[in-house]
Amino acid sequence: MFRRTFSRFCAGEEKRVGTRTVFVGNHPVSETEAYIAQRFCDNRIVSSKYTLWNFLPKNLFEQFRRIANFYFLIIFLVQVTVDTPTSPVTSGLPLFFVITVTAIKQGYEDWLRHRADNEVNKSTVYIIENAKRVRKESEKIKVGDVVEVQADETFPCDLILLSSCTTDGTCYVTTASLDGESNCKTHYAVRDTIALCTAESIDTLRAAIECEQPQPDLYKFVGRINIYSDSLEAVARSLGPENLLLKGATLKNTKKIYGVAVYTGMETKMALNYQGKSQKRSAVEKSINAFLIVYLFILLTKAAVCTTLKYVWQSTPHNDEPWYNQKTQKERETFKVLKMFTDFLSFMVLFNFIIPVSMYVTVEMQKFLGSFFISWDKDFYDEEINEGALVNTSDLNEELGQVDYIFTDKTGTLTENTMEFIECCIDGHKYRGGTQEVDGLSQTDGPLTYFDKADKSREELFLRALCLCHTVEIKASDAVDGATESAELTYISSSPDEIALVKGAKKYGFTFLGNRNGHMRIENQRKEIEEYELLHTLNFDAVRRRMSVIVKTQRGDILLFCKGADSAVFPRVQNHEIELTKAHVERNAMDGYRTLCVAFKEIAPDDYERINRQLLEAKMALQDREEKMEKVFDDIETNMNLIGATAVEDKLQDQAAETIEALHAAGLKVWVLTGDKMETAKSTCYACRLFQTSTELLELTTKTIEESERKEDRLHELLIEYRKKLLHEFPKNTRSLKKAWTEHQEYGLIIDGSTLSLILNSSQDSSSNNYKSIFLQICMKCTAVLCCRMAPLQKAQNLCFILPQFLYQFFCGFSQQPLYDAAYLTMYNICFTSLPILAYSLLEQHINIDTLTSDPRLYMKITGNAMLQLGPFLYWTFLAAFEGTVFFFGTYFLFQTASLEENGKVYGNWTFGTIVFTVLVFTVTLKLALDTRFWTWINHFVIWGSLAFYVFFSFFWGGIIWPFLKQQRMYFVFTQMLSSVTTWLAIILLIFISLFPEILLIVLKNVKRRSARRNLSCRRASDSLSTRPSVRPLLLRTFSDESNIL
């Protein structure tokens, strides 16, 4: 149903756009007909993004789509074309650094993809050509080539199975790399080619395959094969998903198969599922972009204010053209509006560093290097498969700490997907246990409690149904010819339920012995071998929710056996047979067991001829095959007789309940999607603690809506009622809502597939067109949702960097005079402040990992992108404004004394700016040191090393270390500045004043933390969280990113 629902909303997915014809072995089907080779794509897989030739233009295009990069490019171009107060190097060099580092990172990741592609494309395969095995590279496979695949090898392209080493032409496949399912799936060859199991014989095959054009659905395939021979007319056989071997799947429990390539390279289903993916951007990046727009607005405001005030200042004649700075004739004749625009651009260039271009580099590097931490995490290492966590892309690492909803399947995720037969009922009589008696079934359900038995013939009919109605195969090494009293058979199936039912029948004396030449063989309680010719298999699908087989007995009787969900079987059997079995089914479901109902009917020979003809016609259709087969199946599976029902148990995974409870405590909402009966799913949800005993359940199911003519009206009433209850209970604020979960009544929602379809597809003329919005509001307020019967800050300091430059304009006549030297402007984001924040973002752990895993409620503090909301943003912005003001006016008051040295030498504007810059660099670096709680040698190295490098660079740039630089304007400025004791004291005092609010805040937090810790220790004994086993449902370590984002 998931696939159908997805297809319904994806226009064109269901439509077949033409067909293709594939000649097996690329041989003409007739010697008299000319063979024209068709053009198909080769078998190369390309997952890489760039090539050697398009890397530079394509990467540059993608990088300049970022608002900060594009902005700095514009600034650089303005500096090149307009006379601006700063050199183009000040913006060009940081931009070049950003572009280069990002390009190297993206190029490296793409090189890894190229390397992985080459491993696949250059792998060895064997092709059958001229009756010989020819060794080739995988990328050289062509459509139509016959490929040989050995056991445990991966299929190199999409193949149609022609034959295998087994006599019945079957093979077993795992598709874990495609859909995550680890169970073996059985695939079949058409009966006309199963004997062609050598290179010589397969080369004699003359056949053509007509099939649909490539499409991404892994579970759909429509085609037919026309087999030609010299003496007979062409034989046509239908092909479906059971005949298609997908690229990426692995051959298991089968020594060898032959298959013909139908889809290759980027046209394989695996490749089509990876194509056309949109670029994903994390919530952090989206927030950063939004905040950059705010800073861009601040920048434009500053530039506009300064431009306006400049012309107000120049309205006084002696300010506009002082005697010592007369204008040239050209300047006097310049158009005033153009001059104002030029001045506006100049001020924008002067203040442009408020937009931190290097922040993107830091974020990119944090993601890239952070992905290695995930790979190195020992807690993510699986000893059974000898593998750790694999990070396929580093773009969304931080999203691990922003998860709000978890969607999970029940079977195989919450449960182990290892089924055990528990009990069954036949004609309302219950059978439980494992003992067997030759003269029938007589089981106990507890001490001395016996149940009446069904008729002997009905018992045997039920057990035969379990042995015949399935797609189970026997492992080749276990194939037997005679009695199997002591033999241990290994059953293989894509569905563990079917294996459990076959084993359950074996407990009661009926043993499935496997298939041979189209006949199913079973051993009955009397050790007699029974054979049934398998005429047709009506495969299970998520819409019908049942499967059937049509078999022919040795006496010539034709029988249909059907098993499926009660909702799919009960409407198709006699009404008087339902009541007794229904009671057992509902009780088993309440106990948490998976239930299936079993039915049968006899088919008259005349009816079978009609059914056979309809099935063959539907199977051979290339257009709308699924719809036609579904209609035929629906006509066949009617007027059946109910025999009984089965109950199978699927145990919970280890620590499933503890993990679900931890996720709830962390504020995450868990949705369980399952195809099980509602009672079964509800019981499992209680067992895994998705629902607590105190949880009030809101049901939107077929039962609650009732079987009325206007279901939508009743549904609308329930939706309104539930919404009112939830809105009254919880506040509107999302973050308050999470906290309220532990303080108020918890609500859980149960909805079944039919009701969900009614909500999503309500009629247009209904008065309740707002179903979806109301349903969404309800879901957002519930702590858990069960869907059953479903079918498948680094740079906030940049403001305090550029604010003194803005304030300086009020004291220099708005002349656009830079406060900082160009070298400092260039190096600030690249060298002086970049490494400490990068190390902090990678290594900081504000809270110990043991504390995080023992108290999942801490996760709520960072979800919803909490650290990049408006509140923290404004806090850091105002703090930066305060510090920038302290830097500038503290230095300004220091300069009220004309001379800062005993010799009476007066300092100039470059000394003024250097003092401000020195206070700035030390303040932002020490501020990061104050916020660091988890110190490593790397933190010490980059923090103190950055400060030491700043001092070294200042001496170097001032001509002390390298006299070659003595001609530039910063010559000896830094050294002269440090020779003054007054300057030393002023720098230390200004750093302390700037950091004082932060120091005060840390002291208050520590006091509060100690108080909270004492309270926590007092109630630890009664706190349920303290006794919960430590689990790691998510990468809770990302809580340590709380501050580095800021």
Give the residue numbers annotated as catalytic, written as ranges.
409
User: 316 exposed, middle or buried (CB, 10 Å; 0-12, 13-18, 19+)?
Assistant: exposed
Gap between the Cα atoms of 578 and 645, Å rounded: 11
Residue 880 φ then ψ, to 5° = -65, -40
Structure tokens at 828: 């600030």
The CA distances from residue 257 to 101, 126, 611, in Å, are: 48, 11, 33
d(CA 297, CA 67): 13
Closest CA to 167 of 251, 244, 255, 229: 255
Residue 413 has which token pair? 């995720």
Contacts of 390 (CB under 8 A, 6+ apart): 375
Describe the crossing of helices 981-1018 and 909-931 by its angle, rounded to 10 degrees. Answer: 20
Do 202 and 253 contact (CB within 8 A), yes or no?
A: no
Q: Identify whether the C-beta of residue 467 lies closer than 8 Å to the C-beta of residue 521.
A: no
φ, ψ for residue 362 (rounded to 5)? -60, -45
Tell me how far apart the alpha carbons of residues 637 and 560 are, in angstroms, rounded to a whole number.
8
Q: What token pair was written down for 277?
A: 């993916």
Sole residue written with tokens 């905040």: 291
What tokens does 851 get? 């504390």
The phi-psi region of residue 1043 (left if phi > 0; otherwise alpha if psi is between -120 and 50; otherwise beta) is alpha
The H or E element that residue 466 is part of is helix 456-468
| Helix ranges (DSSP H) in 815-864 | 822-827, 834-843, 849-854
Encoded tokens for 190: 């058409």
Find out whether 1020 and 828 touch, Cβ atoms under 8 Å.
no
Query: What is the rounded distance in angstroms from the CA atom of residue 67 to the CA atom of residue 432?
Result: 69
Three-class HEC string of 23-62: EHHHCCCCCCCCCCCCCCCCCCCCCCCCCCCCHHHHHHHH
138 contacts 120 by C-beta, under 8 angstroms:
yes
The secondary element (H helix, E strand) that includes residue 146 is strand 146-150
Distances in whole angstroms, Cα of residue 680 to Cα of each of 584, 604, 903, 1042: 13, 37, 92, 41
* Alpha-carbon span 945 to 800, nearest angstrom: 22
* 495 burial type by CB count under 10 A (0-12 exposed, 13-18 middle, 19+ buried): middle
What are the backbone dihedrals phi and psi of residue 188, each rounded to the nearest 5 degrees, phi first? Answer: -130, 150
- Residue 359 has φ and ψ, to the nearest 5°, of -60, -35
CA–CA gap between residue 586 and residue 595 (Å, rounded): 9
Please, are residues 358 and 97 in contact by the beta-carbon 8 Å criterion?
yes
Instruction: Return the structure tokens found at 148.
Output: 């040989």
Single out the residue of 745, 728, 442, 422 nearest to residue 587, CA to CA. Answer: 422
Distance CA 357, CA 74 (A): 13
Cβ neighbours of 468 (radius 10 Å): 21
Q: Which has the closest alpha carbon to 259: 188, 191, 200?
A: 188
By CB atoms closer than 10 A (0-12, 13-18, 19+), residue 388 is: middle
In one letter, which amino acid is 15? K
CA of 451: how far to CAs of 454, 562, 642, 673, in Å? 10, 26, 20, 36
DSSP 247: T
The conformation of residue 951, written as its DSSP 8-state character, comes to: H
